[in-house]
Amino acid sequence: MKKVGNYFSKFFIILFLCVQMYPIIWLLLSSVKSPSEFSLRAVYALPEKLTFSNYAVAWTAGKMGIYFRNSAIATLVALLLIITFSAPVSFAITKMKWKLSRITLTFFLLGITIPVQVMLIPLFIMYKNVGLLNSLLGLIIVYSAFGLPISIYLFVGFFKSVPNQMIEAAVIDGCNIFAVFTRIMLPLMKNAIATVLTIQFLFTWNDLVFSMTFISKMDLKTVQTGLMYFSGQFGQRQWGPTFASIVMSTLPTLLLYLFLNKVMIKGLTAGAVKG
């Protein structure tokens, strides 16, 4: 009986794995099919030979190259700012002694629960007034600000796990508070920084709502908005390049996941598991 149950659950787990994997495999295979294959053979058929022309079309005619550059700039700068802003404030909240530290933490964590839609209209009007619409700087600013709550949440958890004796020892050795932070704490935060960076990379790279609201110029669109535009424009007729551009938009995430899946899974589920 136990054996039957065992096979039963093995069967279902394999079924689930197939369901999770097959669409992605289908996507990868479809992106290397030649145009004639789409019209002549069934869509689930394996590609006859690998053609990478779809990627070339998507990259140049589909402007994916431009979108990639925009996304890369916005994401990298935003990530840098997120770390520069969130690490010090988390350190001050967990390790330093001041009256409003708890309230400050709550104030930041509030941002996790509030839907983006609530801020969207006022932000749009604010941006319009100061001329930040259609600029990568505008995107970088929202990405860094909206990245703070979860980053601070993660950093605070990591700082808490560092014993206070480490600070005491450093102070006895003659460190001032800034040296404690930069020379003692930050090197200990390597894992925390890696977690925050990967999680925030996902949020920033995957963003649609801000970029579609604040950017309307073709040459400033990011990968996700560009992908929407591209498949809206050519998706019906040009399946190959559409699949290629979908693959390209996910490629950075896919590569990161290949190497950092543990960090990503831990970081994304951290909030829930700690309750």
Between CA 195 and CA 64 the distance in angstroms is 28
Judged by beta carbon, residue 158 or residue 243, the one nearer another protein is 243
Please state the closest distance from residue 117 (CB atom) to another protein, in A: 5
Please state the closest distance from residue 53 (CB atom) to another protein, in A: 19
Judged by beta carbon, residue 44 or residue 46, the one nearer another protein is 44
Smallest CA-to-CA distance from 160 within 200, 198, 188 is with: 188
Please state the closest distance from residue 49 (CB atom) to another protein, in A: 20
SS (H, E, C) 201-222: HHHHHCCCHHHHHHCCCHHHCC
Please state the closest distance from residue 160 (CB atom) to another protein, in A: 15
Judged by beta carbon, residue 73 or residue 177, the one nearer another protein is 177
Q: Decide if 112 contacts 149 (C-beta within 8 A).
A: yes
Using a 10 angstrom Cβ sphere, with 0-12 exposed, 13-18 middle and 19 or more buried, the burial of residue 154 is buried
Between CA 55 and CA 243 the distance in angstroms is 9
Judged by beta carbon, residue 13 or residue 188, the one nearer another protein is 13
Between CA 181 and CA 189 the distance in angstroms is 10
Between CA 14 and CA 140 the distance in angstroms is 42
Please state the closest distance from residue 18 (CB atom) to another protein, in A: 10
- Helical (H) or strand (E) element with 251: helix 239-274
Tokens of 197: 């960076």
Please state the closest distance from residue 232 (CB atom) to another protein, in A: 9
Judged by beta carbon, residue 77 or residue 95, the one nearer another protein is 95
Judged by beta carbon, residue 113 or residue 217, the one nearer another protein is 113
Instruction: Output b/e per residue, 155-192; b: 16+ Cβ within 10 A.
Output: bbbbbeebeeeebeebeeeebeeeebbeebbbeebeeb
Please state the closest distance from residue 50 (CB atom) to another protein, in A: 19
Judged by beta carbon, residue 32 or residue 142, the one nearer another protein is 142
